Structure 1
Amino acid sequence: MATPKPKARFMDFQEMLSIDTPQDTAPAPVQGGILEMDFSQMESFPNHRFKLYEGQQLDDMVESVCQFGILLPIILWHTEDGRYIILSGHNRKNAAQLAGLTQGPVIIRENLTHEDAVLIVTETNLRQRSFSDMSHSERAYCLAQHYEAMKCQGKRNDLLAEIEMLLNPHDTSENETLAEPQHKLKSREKLGQDYGLSRDKVAKYIRISNLIDPLISRVDTEEIAFLAAYDLSFVEDTAKQQQIADLMESDSYKVDMKKAELFHSYYETGKLTDTAVVQILSGEKTRKPKSSKPQSVKIKPAVISKYFTPQQTPKEIEETIDKALALYFEQQNQEVVMT
């Protein structure tokens, strides 16, 4: 038996949205309207980074759905291959199914890039959840995506404004929308104000979002401390990150602050070999590597004025010093040969 097509019903909601008509699998919704769709037709967002509610939080949502139904429509992405992927509403769908419902209200979006879809997923989670209740990995992922969106112009800003209207249709003023990201404050300062974080903490979260899943999941379980994860995130080679994660899993190694600092230092100096990774994790290496960068030497102004005139440029002075040193070391080598 064929799966029933979602039936459209008109509601005066979000007239600012331009919802395109899904072809063949769904009837055309009225502009600003909402569809009722079977949950069986919806798919979860691939590699969804946000954990479903559990315990009391889930029980409360199920009870709310039983009493009032789904109050906020699920946002779906109708892809080019005809799939309906959930962008916002994974918990609503889960709670509704536990409450015995088989369908719910949806808003369908089309003509989205994958980047647009990811932005909707992260932005709606930031707006609908308590930031303090999120895990470290969820916060990092959200803030990183949100930060990138705030730096973009044009379509991405329009999309953010659209999301804001979706979630708060009556609370967004004309002069205070996410479509106007040119704030006097810098992006990270703005994020910090929005979510009660210092600019430094926002920067650290954005950095640890670069950790691969097996490592950032250990931050969630407190096997890796937050500040240790920050240092570890400077190892930007994902193959090296994977090696660290594999060794932690197979040999039960731990990454504390000291080891994370060593990983940071060895990677920055280009000395984080496979052997060094094992030695750091096992505790064999305990000191930072010596820097391979050339030493910086400052010449006192009195010395410069002794040999050069004020009219000579820094480049001319540099070239003269270079020639003088070349001549000096040449003479030194000749004296060594003669002796």
Structure 2
Amino acid sequence: MAIPKPKAPLIDFDEMLGIETQHDTAPAPVQVGIVDMDFSLMESFPNHRFKLYEGQQLTDMVDSICQFGILLPIILWYTEDGRYIILSGHNRKNAAQLAGFAKGPVIIRENLTYEDAVLIVTETNLRQRSFSDMSHSERAYCLAQHYEAMKCQGKRNDLLAEIEMLLNPQDTSENETLAEPQTRFRTDAKLGQDYGLSRDKVAKYIRISNLIEPLIFRVDSGEIAFLAAYDLSFVEDEAQQQRIADLMESDSFKLDTKKAELFHGYYKAGKLTDTAIVQILSGEKTRKPKSNKPQPVKIKPAVISKYFTAQQTQKEIEEVIDKALALYFENQESEVTA
């Protein structure tokens, strides 16, 4: 996935006024160690899903940086086109700037794929934040990304182990190898245990990560309950999700668990039309759609014993019934055309 470049300003006032301006240029990447870098050279990770600290949490971080400085270095990704993308440290950069700092300590990483970068973003956020303090959308995004990483377990554990030692050098003794810290990374089973979540809850979070932002943000605000969001996530057509979000915004419709179940049922049955969406949100529709599948028919034991022996298997009985019905309907068609 290509990282979108920032748009150039529509008007360059310095150029228009004939003023020569010395612009900052990105320094050559540093291979190892921690260096100081101007915040002006750093870019936020594209489509960063984790909200910046606000309120008391932000105030506390600003106060801490004013007193002690930035204790944990910011991790940057040096891209092939010479840009520095923040992988870990969006809050530290923001708080440091509010504290009056112009630069901060960084660790620069090169030769990363976009997937490697995403993995670092999610893993470091899981480690540095309290999971209970995350919003539903942040939890869903983080767990979904972790799940994807687990599907290719071992792909870049060397990368994660190195980041672990960079962020937590006190946790790694001199005799440990790069392979040993890897065992501390969460498996899919341990993921739920670390945050007091059952596997079912983890699965639900991963599902709701498929909701578009206007809907999942309503989960964050409490307008949509978590279980309702789970049912709604089965509406996998983004255009239909957007239609639901637009109607909730324009007509102030509420979405409760019952309506979400109806959306789930109508989408599964292939009957979620624009009209059905309006009827469900307005409360006009209150029942699940009728299934197009034929209802199962039970044959009484007396009928079975009339034509079959106890030694015949279920498969043999089904085959005879199938042939008998085919012959019956063939004769019916012959009578109609005669």
Same fold, TM-score > 0.5, yes or no: yes
Question: What secondary structure is seen at the aligned counterpart in 1 of 2:245?
Answer: helix
Distance 1:151-1:170 versus aligned 2 partners, 3 A rule:
farther
Matched-pair contact (CA < 8 Å) for 1:160–1:179: no
Residue 51 of structure 2: aligned partner: 51
Deviation per CA, 1:240-280: give whole Å up to 9, x if none. Answer: 10110111111111111111010010011111011111111
Partner of 2:267: 267
TM-score, with structure 1 as normaliser: 0.83
CA distance in 2, matches of 1:116, 1:257: 37
Question: 1:255 and 1:326 mapped to 2: Cα distance?
Answer: 48
Query: What whole-Å deviation, never above 9, does each CA across 1:84-140 have from its counterpart, x for those lacking one?
Result: 111110000011111111001111112222222111111111100111111110011
Asked if the contact 2:29/2:78 (under 8 Å) is kept, the reply is no
2:12 counterpart residue number: none
* Greater alpha carbon shift after TM alignment, 140-149 vs 293-302: 293-302
Give runs of aligned pairs for residues 94-243 of structure 1, distance below 5 A. Answer: 94-171=94-171, 177-178=181-182, 187=188, 189-243=189-243
Structure 1 residues 195 and 266: CA distance shift in structure 2, 3 A: same
1:147-198 Cα shifts (integer Å, max 9, x gaps): 2212213323333333333332232576864468796xxx2x3211111112
In the alignment, the residues of structure 1 paired with residue 274 and residue 31 of structure 2 have an alpha-carbon distance, to the nearest angstrom, of 59
Inter-CA distance 301–82: structure 2 relative to 1 (3 Å threshold): farther
Change (3 A) 1:200 1:90: same
- Within a 5 Å distance, the mapping from 1:300-315 to structure 2 comes to 303=304, 307=308, 314=315
SS of the aligned residue for 2:170 comes to: coil
Given that 1:123 and 1:163 are in contact with CA atoms closer than 8 Å, whether structure 2 keeps it comes out as: no
- Percent identity over paired residues: 78
| Contact 1:208–1:229 (8 Å) recurs in 2 | yes
Count of residues paired in the alignment: 313
Q: Aligned partners of 1:80 and 1:176: how far apart in 2?
A: 31
Question: Which residue of the partner structure matches residue 30 of structure 2?
Answer: 29
Query: Secondary structure of 1:242's partner?
Result: helix
How big is the shift at 1:27? 3.9
Structure-2 separation of matches of 1:123 and 1:168 = 13
Q: Counterparts of 1:176 and 1:270 in 2: how far apart (Å)?
A: 50
CA 1:300–1:180: 2 relative to 1, 3 Å: farther
CA distance in 2, matches of 1:305, 1:37: 88
Structure 1 Cα separation of the partners of residues 306 and 34 of structure 2: 79
Could you say what secondary structure the match of 1:271 adopts? coil
Amino acid paired to 1:295? Q
Moved more, 289-298 or 196-205: 289-298
Gaps of 5+ in 2: 1-20
- Could you give the per-residue CA deviations for residues 213-246 of structure 1, whole angstroms, max 9, x where no partner exists? 0000000111111111111011111111011011
Note if contact 2:31-2:108 (Cα within 8 Å) is conserved in structure 1.
no
- Residue 155 to residue 168, structure 1, CA distance change in 2 (3 Å): same
Q: Structure 1, residues 287-325: CA drift from partner, whole Å, max 9, x if none?
A: 1011112334466788389536858793x6544322111
Segment of structure 1 superposing worse, 173-182 or 124-133: 173-182
Aligned to 2:7: none
Partner of 1:255: 255
Please say if residues 158 and 179 of structure 1, whose CA atoms lie closer than 8 Å, have aligned partners that are also in contact. no
**Which deviates further from its counterpart, 325-334 or 245-254?**
325-334
1:18 aligned partner:
none
**What's the CA shift for 1:44?**
0.8
SS class of match (1:82): coil
**Structure 1 unaligned runs (5+)?**
6-24
Decide whether aligned partners of structure 1 residues 85 and 301 sit closer, same or farther in structure 2, where only a CA change above 3 A counts. farther
CA distance in 1, matches of 2:92, 2:121: 14
Shift of the 37–286 alpha-carbon distance from structure 1 to 2, 3 Å rule, reads same
Distance 2:186 2:64 in 1: 38
CA RMSD of aligned residues (A): 2.8
**8 Å contact from structure 1 (residues 308, 317) kept in 2:** no
Letter in 2 for 1:193: Q
Name the aligned partner's letter for residue 126 of structure 2: L
CA distance in 2, matches of 1:66, 1:169: 24
Summarize the Cα distance change of 1:170–1:294 in structure 2 as closer, same or farther, 3 Å threshold: farther
1:259–1:280 Cα contact (<8 Å) kept:
yes
3-state SS of 1:170 partner: helix
Query: Does structure 1 retain, via aligned residues, the 8 Å contact 2:24–2:41?
Result: no
Q: Contact 1:73–1:106 (CA<8 Å) still a contact in 2?
A: yes
Once residues 127 and 180 of structure 1 are traced to their aligned partners in structure 2, the CA distance between those partners, rounded to angstroms, is: 11
Q: Secondary structure at the match of 1:155?
A: coil
